[in-house]
Amino acid sequence: MTVLSFTQLKVRTVVDVFTYLTGVLCIFAVSGHITFLYPLLLFAAMGLSAWLDFKKISISRRILTVFSIVVILYFFVRIGTEDLIGQIMEALFVLMGIKFLERKEVRDFMQIYALALFVLAGLGLMTLGMAFVAYLLVFFILLSLSLIFLTFYSQDQNLELTNRTIRTMIARCLWIPLLAIPLSTVMFVILPRTSYPILTFLNRADKARSGFTDNVRLGQISDIQEDERVVFRATMDRIDEGSLYWRGITLDHFDGISWRKGTRKGLYSNAGARNITGKPVSQTIYLEPYENSCLFALDKPVYMDLRRVRKNDDLTFTIPGFVERRIRYTSLSMVSAVIPEESIDLKTYLQLPADLSPLIVSLAKSLAVREDKTGTLQRVLDHLGSSRYSYTLKGLPLSKNPLESFLFDSPSGNCEYFASAMAVLLRVNDIPSRLVGGYRGGYYNEMGKYYLVPQKNAHVWVEAHIPGKGWVRYDPTPASAEAFSTVSGNGMFLRLRMVFDTINYYWYGVVLTYNLERQISITRTLMSELRRPSISFSVHQRKVLKYSGTFIISFGLIVLAWFLVKSVKPPEVALLNRFLKRLNAAGYEKQKSEGLEEFLSRIPDEELRSISLEFVREYEKIYYGDGRFTPEDLKRLKHLAGEEK
């Protein structure tokens, strides 16, 4: 009876290990994308399957087949178009759990791998992030290894493999998926692409994130301002921190508790722009999905290159429907504190609730400077900027009249309270005003050259209309600029976080936005380079020679190092070669088809044969026992071979 040890495993055990690893991979890959109950069920089924295999207990295939049919019918009845892929994935997890519970033969292993492949394909319809690519690569590595060992299992179910053999097979098999990566990259670049995918209806929208809506209730943004998740990234050169206002929406109607957009503003052509003076800044925005249709851009955006984008007369941009998927667009903005506009609707921008608190009206009148709107505006700013008021996200005034509570009873609040207070105090004094919602600041990633803006940077500020100037930006919130420019973490953790964010950023920017238009653009660029009549070699001759020489030398050193490494044999192999060489010198040559003991049996000299067999058997004991040749082993073998006395 052969005792199974750690140095010798049955091929079935190896197949089981890779199969269970495949199931665990599916659980990790899909967790968070479907109801956690189904990955948990699969994990439980895998645990029960391992216990059943250990106890050598099997469940009737008929029972499991009937259960599979019931599961399919159940999911077929409840299936709907709202989340088609998610429901299919849940069914696949249940079916995979059932397959694990069966007494697994070769076909059952193949069916588990097929189900896992469908699960990964479904994940690709849910998300195409870097995590998906990593899971897919690991799956194909596991699949390649599983199929190789499954082939051996199908030929001999009792086959036993040493650890050395298993490691060698794994190392050789890893070349299969790794060599496919460069080929896949080339195919990705050159294969024709289409802007009209026929299976788009299967793609599930990304999970929307809370953000600005078309109304802002006092105290509403406080939850968003504690959210560390990224809302968008903006590729652009670094600019002054004080100019980092990301415009999204404007709000002009106040009911005492919340702000909303009033009557719909007129629209005008996206091709035109107002005569705004300032520094032009171009940004490429990667906006995450969130529950609104507003698009964000720096300061005063005048143009966006997005299909079906709608430009409003308050320099905000929207799209039909919500931002349900990550989108990319380029915006041209003017960095300026003023939007020139003479003619405005005074009724809209002086609107106040009918039941506005008399205390607020009295405070506003006390801050007025007769016939000097600029002076009044400055006094309102000074009042809100005094030591009486402080910035906080906790314990916000949430009474029936929150603005009155903020101004007189609980003078602590966030940007909504400060901006609302300023806008109302200005309107009482006949100064048109409105709120602007968006984001403030951002962390500049030096590695990727882009701004990373998290949800916690949500901000509201005020635009007041000044005759002769137009809409002028004022920010009464006393929070420092540093509060809007940092991300959590420091030191090594922060650097590591930025490295991963940069990788994700380039993945989204280069891979996921690679479409037919970019493919045509790259092709045209290459064709124009090839059509150039001549290239001046003399100008770049030194550079060409320098880089060519560096490449040739580097390549030669790599090849030389490879040959040197390959030529250096392990000491036990070198010892065996020296032993066979001495026997050859004595007139006994080993044939390639002969084993060592078979070769020694041909030696007529009994004393030499006995000594040689002692050496070979000791050598084989270590080699085939999957042991390491320690210095003591080599010393003993050298003594047996006659090299040491």
Amino acid identity of residue 6, one-letter, is F
Tokens standing for residue 207: 């999970």
- For the chain, percent of residues with pLDDT exceeding 90: 20
Please give the average per-residue pLDDT across 80-104, as a whole number. Answer: 82
Write the DSSP assignment of 344-394 as a string of letters.
--HHHHT---TT--HHHHHHHHHT--TT-HHHHHHHHHHHHTSTT-EE-SS
More confidently predicted of 187 and 341: 341
User: Could you tell me where the DSSP H helices lie in 244-372?
Assistant: 346-349, 358-366
Please compute, for residue 263, the number of CA atoms within 13 A of its CA located in the half-sphere on the CB side. 6
Q: Please say if the pLDDT value at position 516 is more than 60.
A: no
> Where is mean pLDDT largest: 348-357, 473-482, 564-573?
348-357
More confidently predicted of 171 and 267: 171
**pLDDT tens-digit series, residues 461-508:** 999 999 888 999 999 988 654 455 555 555 566 667 677 677 667 666
Q: Please say if the pLDDT value at position 208 is more than 50.
A: no
Question: What is the pTM (predicted TM-score) of this model?
Answer: 0.60
> Where is mean pLDDT largest: 293-307, 499-513, 557-571?
293-307
**pLDDT tens-digit series, residues 319-337:** 888 887 788 899 999 998 8
Cβ atoms of residues 367 and 376 within 8 Å: yes
Please give the average per-residue pLDDT across 545-549, as a whole number. Answer: 57
Q: Please say if the pLDDT value at position 238 is more than 50.
A: yes
User: Could you tell me where the DSSP H helices lie in 56-195?
Assistant: 61-78, 84-101, 106-126, 130-155, 163-173, 175-190
Residue 491: predicted pLDDT? 58
Distance separating alpha carbons of residues 125 and 121, to the nearest angstrom:
7
Cβ atoms of residues 223 and 455 within 8 Å: no
Q: Assign 547 a pLDDT band (cuts: 50, 70, 90).
A: low
Please give the average per-residue pLDDT across 573-600, as a whole number. Answer: 83
Q: Please say if the pLDDT value at position 262 is more than 80.
A: no
Residue 473: predicted pLDDT? 93
Instruction: State whether residue 5 is helix, strand or coil.
Output: strand
Tokens standing for residue 360: 């607020």
Please give the average per-residue pLDDT across 385-391, as a whole number. Answer: 89
Please give the average per-residue pLDDT across 255-270, as a whole number. Answer: 66
Q: Assign 368 a pLDDT band (cuts: 50, 70, 90).
A: very high
Please compute, for residue 535, the number of CA atoms within 13 A of its CA located in the half-sphere on the CB side. 9
Residue 535: predicted pLDDT? 44
Instruction: State whether residue 10 is helix, strand or coil.
Output: strand
Residue 184: predicted pLDDT? 66
Q: Which residues are paired to 34 by β-bridges?
A: 31
Please give the average per-residue pLDDT across 107-127, as a whole number. Answer: 85
